[in-house]
A and B are shown apart, each in its own frame.
Chain A
């Protein structure tokens, strides 16, 4: 099946630093989603992307839908301790019903 390769697997950063993570695939997708998940909770939708090249912001978060439609990245600027969690990318192919998920990026922020 389709696979989303998400990297890095984990990150340890200092509060105030910027963070970047990405997802790549060999398949083309028409929707990319980015989620944050806290322990014991369901994923929370951060940003949805629908067009190749689209750049969308949500507060300190910015995500882009890659031009090739095979990748996406998420940036977090000026990280704060509450950014700690696991971030997942998800993608959907046109005319298909199944969302694919990356394996997550675990973010740790040192105050």
Chain B
């Protein structure tokens, strides 16, 4: 158990709907990452937070995607006007200061119909 939790674990939605995912790392994780993973591929970087500051965002992240980490603890990832191509596993990972050991949550599987 990495201590990183994600909710929901599964989400099925219709195209055009908005969805929001939540990630709860442990308190030591001052750094937090979001990734997207499709079948047969490794995780693909979406965005990175150091405490509450969003320091980097992938160019692959369209303006329909937004992420927040308001108090430097939990984080949310919102996808607006979902498209079928957004169907994937969304993973969150936390790192403690002074280490590059990145610990993943169990992921949220999104299916857009």
Contact = CB atoms under 8 A, between A and B. Distances in A.
Interface stretch (A13-21, A51-59, A74-82, A99-107): A99-107
A98 interface: yes
Interface residues of B, number: 27
Interface residues on A, range: 20 to 34
A45 B103 contact: yes
A50 B42 contact: no
Interface in B69-113: 91, 93, 99-107, 109
Interface string B39-55: 01111110010100001
Nearest to B33: A99
Interface of B: 2, 4, 6, 31, 33, 40-45, 48, 50, 55-56, 91, 93, 99-107, 109
